[in-house]
A and B are shown apart, each in its own frame.
Chain A
Amino acid sequence: MTVQTLADTLSLTVFHLAQPDRPVSGGYAGDLLSWVLGRAGQDSAWLTIMSNQNVAAVALMTDAACVVLTEGVSPDSDLLRRAQEKGVNLLGTAEDTFAAAARLAALLQNS
């Protein structure tokens, strides 16, 4: 499954989509950035409510496929700018993290 497919299937808000064809092979949910750095797998869709600029750097370092801001959170302007500069896929959903993770897991199982 690609990030584009994920965005289309879950009707995600697109804040920045630099690499729509990137593969998504797993998921991770978490807001403590060091925890995410230690645990998130490569090519994960990372679900978080954190919306500061450091999120872009963490996504970049972990090779996350995309960031999905949950609970209707919008990226702050620095995060959006940094995602654009670094080519980080930045998406959003109004759903809470649990609901979004459950739908992502179902998609991954079927893909």
Chain B
Amino acid sequence: METIKLVYPVEGGDLIEAGEASSKMKLTLKKLGLPQDVIRRASICMYEGEINMVIHADGGQAEVEVAPDQIVIRMRDTGPGIPDVAQAMQEGFSTAGQTARELGFGAGMGLPNMKRYSDEMAIDTEVGKGTTVTVKINIA
């Protein structure tokens, strides 16, 4: 299997509609016949990234590469950036607003969950410019 590249726009602003990009990716990964656990981990990472982009950055774009041995998901936004990545990685730390919290988000688990379910994770962020979160999930 050669590497498959997929791009999903993530709409900003509407947390109620969030999850469309992740749902579409999940369907595609299922069609590709990948193992259920791999699909599940990739889907949770992507969904958390999508929620983060909607809450903090008015949307963005998710780029997914499916190689024979690995899924790479890059989530790019041009939002406010993360001033203190170490703090953002702590379970329970959140800067999400009241609306997000009322819907059940903002528990400070988004980035930690992405770390938990990926094999590799990198955060490239610059305050005022944006953030790219990359997760890699091994297939095997």
Contacts and interface: CB of A to CB of B under 8 A. Distances in A.
A50 interface: yes
Interface of A is mostly: helix
Contacts of B23: 57, 60, 86
Interface of B is mostly: helix
B44 A61 contact: yes
A61 B22 contact: yes
Contact of B109 (A34, A50, A60, A61): A34
A63 to B, nearest CB: 5
Contact of B36 (A32, A37, A54, A63): A63
Interface of B: 15-19, 22-23, 26, 36-37, 40, 43-44, 47-48, 51, 103-110, 112-113, 116
12 contacts: A34-B105, A34-B106, A34-B107, A34-B110, A35-B109, A37-B109, A38-B109, A38-B113, A54-B103, A61-B19, A61-B26, A61-B43
